[in-house]
Amino acid sequence: MFVSAATKTVADSHTPRQATLLNRRGICYRPPPLLHSLAMPRQRLGQHFLSGQVWQRRILDTLPRDPAGAWIEIGSGHGEMTRHLATTGSRVVTIETDTRLADRLRERMAQSPSEWPGVEVVHADVLQQDLGQLLPGRFRVYGNLPYYITSPILHHLFRFADRIGSIHIVVQFEVAARIAAHPGRRAYGYLSAACQFYTNPEIVLRIPPGAFRPPPRVTSALLRMTLPGERAQLETLDEARFLKFIQVCFGQKRKTLRNNLRSIIPDTRIGEALAACAIPADARAEQLTVPQFAALFSWTQQL
């Protein structure tokens, strides 16, 4: 289209009112182009698609191969990793919350069924899904998780810990580092302890923004979480109450464990509890291992 020297074309994020003012001044306002139509649905959910085939292969190479096993995939997207999971010979149930993405993947499967052996698409919100009803027996989990919902998804998965062999997730590197952090490290917190109660987490790959479309503003990581974690070595306890107890312990990280425990234990008994569990009186929550949290929790249940 020809544009005279007296007329300029602007493409930015102006509001409709600003666009009207621009047009009155002889400037033709052109709204900014939309993102690729396939990426639009998931972008509203904070997701970035793993489009780099080299990285898809690198991730696949780290995953266990068990033709007799099964996978639950969280977020199929365009099927970037779904097809790769199918090549392992395992059954794959992929959960996709976006209607258009789920329908498109089903269409592709119908057109080339031989390329998607053993794959089933479930249109659902994973947080509302009873994973135990999707597959018989044990299964593994893979997912490229939206950064803002990583913790809720992990806590949902832990409800089915007795059925899960391992969890393999792509998450923000900072979150992966927190999950895998050891006691005494600054990154060690509630999420670290909760995840290590159920799993043995390990950062396997560091993934650059360029591996995704659209690229995120942060580096990502592939996190491998093998089950069981410390939970298998500890006495049976009320897991929901135990996790809430750990949250209290980390309530204010700058304060000592003693100060945080005052909200649930009489102050006169806190010193006794710490001494009984061989925990220093001035200890902070980030210094405790999961077994130490469990011992302290068990002692408080006797009050």
From the list 79, 74, 80, 73, the residue with the least C-alpha distance to 57 is 80
CA distances from 212 to 8, 53, 57, 92, 167 (A): 34, 10, 14, 23, 21
When pLDDT is cut at 50, 70 and 90, the band that residue 37 belongs to is very low
Q: Which amino acid is at 125?
A: D
Query: Is a pLDDT exceeding 70 seen at residue 3?
Result: no
Q: What is the pLDDT of residue 149?
A: 92
Residue range 171-188: mean pLDDT, rounded: 96
CA neighbours within 13 Å on the CB side: how many for 54? 4
- The vertex-128 CA angle with 188 and 213, nearest 5°, equals 65
Which of 33-37, 53-57, 125-129 is least confident? 33-37
Residue 187 near residue 178, CB atoms below 8 Å: yes
Query: Is a pLDDT exceeding 60 seen at residue 45?
Result: no
Q: What is the pLDDT of residue 19?
A: 44
Backbone angles phi, psi at 158, to 5 degrees: -65, -20
Q: What is the pLDDT of residue 156?
A: 98
Residue 104 near residue 125, CB atoms below 8 Å: no
Which of 4-8, 90-94, 164-168 is least confident? 4-8
Q: What is the pLDDT of residue 67?
A: 83
Residue range 255-278: mean pLDDT, rounded: 93
Q: What is the pLDDT of residue 20?
A: 46
Q: What is the pLDDT of residue 286?
A: 96
When pLDDT is cut at 50, 70 and 90, the band that residue 117 belongs to is very high
Residue range 197-201: mean pLDDT, rounded: 98
Residue range 183-207: mean pLDDT, rounded: 97
Residue 281 near residue 247, CB atoms below 8 Å: no
When pLDDT is cut at 50, 70 and 90, the band that residue 22 belongs to is very low
Residue range 180-184: mean pLDDT, rounded: 97
Q: What is the pLDDT of residue 34?
A: 31
Which of 38-42, 131-135, 187-191, 283-287 is least confident? 38-42
Counting residues of the chain whose pLDDT is more than 90, the rounded percentage is: 76
Residue range 64-69: mean pLDDT, rounded: 88
**Mean of the per-residue pLDDT values of the chain:** 86
- Token output for 219: 């580096």
Residue range 48-63: mean pLDDT, rounded: 94
Q: What tens digit of pLDDT does each residue of 218-232 get?
A: 999 999 999 999 999
- The more confidently predicted of residues 232 and 268 is 232
Q: What is the pLDDT of residue 35?
A: 29
Q: What is the pLDDT of residue 30?
A: 41
- Predicted TM-score (pTM) of this structure: 0.83
Query: Is a pLDDT exceeding 90 seen at residue 197?
Result: yes
From the list 264, 259, 256, the residue with the least C-alpha distance to 285 is 256
